[in-house]
Chain A
Amino acid sequence: DQQVKQNSPSLSVQEGRISILNCDYTNSMFDYFLWYKKYPAEGPTFLISISSIKDKNEDGRFTVFLNKSAKHLSLHIVPSQPGDSAVYFCAASAWGGSQGNLIFGKGTKLSVKP
């Protein structure tokens, strides 16, 4: 049973436009959500996070939106750049991750075309 779902395996966007990556979750106990970025042959690297008590968190070109009622979050990248091309993983944890329970989605491969 997948608790964190990324239903789009891939996304292609033109440079300069907005990239929107989506993530759905099923566990209402999740209280922290994180996005990781992964380049080929490298490990995932932390990008941005949001607490369940907020609905938006912004860091430069990256903004994460959380809709708790819909159990949905999204990552917006504006403007998209070719260097943003990577696999993006959504992750979630309950109890602040104190149970070591950071659960990942399967990822969405973003391609930003020049």
Chain B
Amino acid sequence: AQKVTQAQTEISVVEKEDVTLDCVYETRDTTYYLFWYKQPPSGELVFLIRRNSFDEQNEISGRYSWNFQKSTSSFNFTITASQVVDSAVYFCALKHYRSSNTGKLIFGQGTTLQVKP
């Protein structure tokens, strides 16, 4: 089965704290793609990152970093020195190889991050 689990429903931190959002996925395919999207209070879905299953390099973009571990089927997202503007719902998503000709994304339940001033 293809599935994405974001076990943390809600996280609350104080500004400037680091925070890690967990994502665990299940797929039978050896080729797949992983994504993170941000949904701010305004409601739109904003693309953050895409990762291919054959590229296990971690990535850093400013205060954001992603840790992809195939051995544990995890694709965790860390925000360093969080800011109030980071408050949003964050979704992890999976596209498995057999959906590579249909584009279907499977989303996790989302993690609501609240950053308090």
Q: Is this pair of chains taken from one and the same complex?
A: no
**Interface residue ranges, A against B (CB under 8 Å):** none
**Interface residue ranges, B against A (CB under 8 Å):** none
